[in-house]
Structure 1
Amino acid sequence: MSEPTSEEVRQLVSAFQKLKTWPKADSAEELVEWMSSYVQSADTSGSSKADFPTSITLNQPPKLPFFSGDSKCETTFDVWKHQYNCLLKNESLSRRVLFRVAQQSLRGKAATVAMSVGPDGDVNELVAKLEDMFGSVVRGQSLLSEFYRARQTEDEDVTSWACRLEEILNRASAHDGLTPTSRDELLHNQLWSGLRADLRDKSAYLFDQGGSFGNLLRSLRRMEADMSERQPTKKTISKAATSTETSELQEMKGMIKQLSADVAKLKNSLLVTMLNLRHSSSHIDTGDNSSHNSHNRARLSSKDSVNHQEVNQFVSVVDNQDT
């Protein structure tokens, strides 16, 4: 057997360094014996791989969404409890850990309720108190009635409408224990029958095709998106209509103002003409009043426009003189 090269010796030394061990090699027999014992210990304990871990597991504590019991809180108690029930499925979490996680997620009034359980209380007792304080008290039959009466509002898109239906049915299912099949059928039927009239009329063929609640929901969302692309939003229409109405109103006001001015000028002109004719006739018939009437006509002709009150007074004077 040929002597090992310096490179082979270097690689052998490097391999033992990676294993963090060094063979006993005072003699060839000792080296063989050491190698045999090392292989056996590696097979039983896996120590040959223990020094080179392939993955690291980080134990990050679980979290629940914040819940305060306030009506303004985004998370409802039903959502919070659902997340808690999901954590219960994790067998690696102790009851003590669950208690800490639940406590840390509570805010406001809910946190005040948790204080009555104490720092070393039981998680089941804590959840039961929260259920008594914030859980739904509506009967299952009433919730089903609310489900059937529900209708999509004008400012509610299909996704929001479907989420609201599911939320109502979730609460009803907790009381009546609906099967998954009946639940899907109820959602499928009510999703379409509660739609706004414009969307329901256009999507009747989708409902008649049957299928699941999820399939109908996706089809309705696509239809809603197509409809919104083909027509402007209500806000744009309202703004344009308001702008048009304002412009037309201003134009009408200007026309009325101009017409009123024209009518006033025409009335003044007609009154002056009639008064001149009447005074001319009065001057011929009654010579005694000729100087007085001439003075009044001169008074009228000296003004560009005639005040209505003055004209009426003048006409009354002339009428009295004529009689």
Structure 2
Amino acid sequence: MPNDEGTVCPLTPTKGHITVDYLKSHATVTALSNALAGAMCTLITQPIASLRTRLQSLNIYCHGVPKDARSKLKALYKVSMRDGFFSLYRGGGCSMVISAAGWFIFRFTYDELTQRKVVEFDSKMGNKLILGSLSSLVTTVILHPAWNAKLNIELQTSKTKLDGWPQYRGTMHYLFVTTRDQGIKGLYKGWEVNGIGVIYYGMVICLYETLSESDWEQYPILHKFKSIKPMMNGMLSKIIPTTLCYPFYVSRTMQICFATELTHRKLHEIFFWTLKHKRLSGLYAGFQMQLIKSLVSGGITFGIYEAILIAIAKIYNLAAV
């Protein structure tokens, strides 16, 4: 449909032809595309996530890693390999479900709120941050119990089993046992961290959408790499939020560790205990793995997301010819 200037609006399909921008105006399409992209990315990055979680827990539990080990990561990897490489995929099924469901709920809510203009300020970035945070809040309320299941299962090794840690056969087993023993309150233990995560994902989508609006064609150097723009934007959008929020995720992992002096402590107490006894390096334990995961997942997730939308548009347009 022509606008006031006589040009065709990108959000309105011409006869037998649709554009990616038109698809992005439909929340269900973007949500399904982002869900598929998130699940595929998680399948690739799950071993990194498991190593990251175990590195975080080294502040309070050894996992069989010698105290004098020069490289904690190398030593932990060797210990983990005793259980086989696929032991790093423990919690992988749960992670894929969380990723797919999380991205679907988040993207659908964000796009719906954006299109309905629920929040309107003069600052576009401010709007994106608030809408992203609101969408993340909805996602967190629904999926926090599954996130707890994921962390508990990722920490399971032959060493934790030997030391008497609870062993869960999967997400549903964790949810059943926790509800039976601790009630609904137990499922939402550690909610404070995901409360901070609300801001984290708000920042991620705000930065990604803002970077996506930048025109690389204005810069000859960047124009050559236009095809990987979604991946680069996805990677860049994760750096700042990951760096700012990471210490709180470390505190939550330490709280989960079974039968330690921190198991029943509140998260802020664990945060300051770690800062006192392990210093800043303790709060950023495993950060190198998380940064790699964030960069890879940001690039892959948003790259696949955009590629899926492009493929849908191409297939539809070819079929309509």
| Bigger CA radius of gyration | 1
Which structure is higher in RCO with an 8 Å CA cutoff and minimum separation 6? 2
Provide TM-score, normalisation by structure 2.
Answer: 0.20
Provide TM-score, normalisation by structure 1.
Answer: 0.20
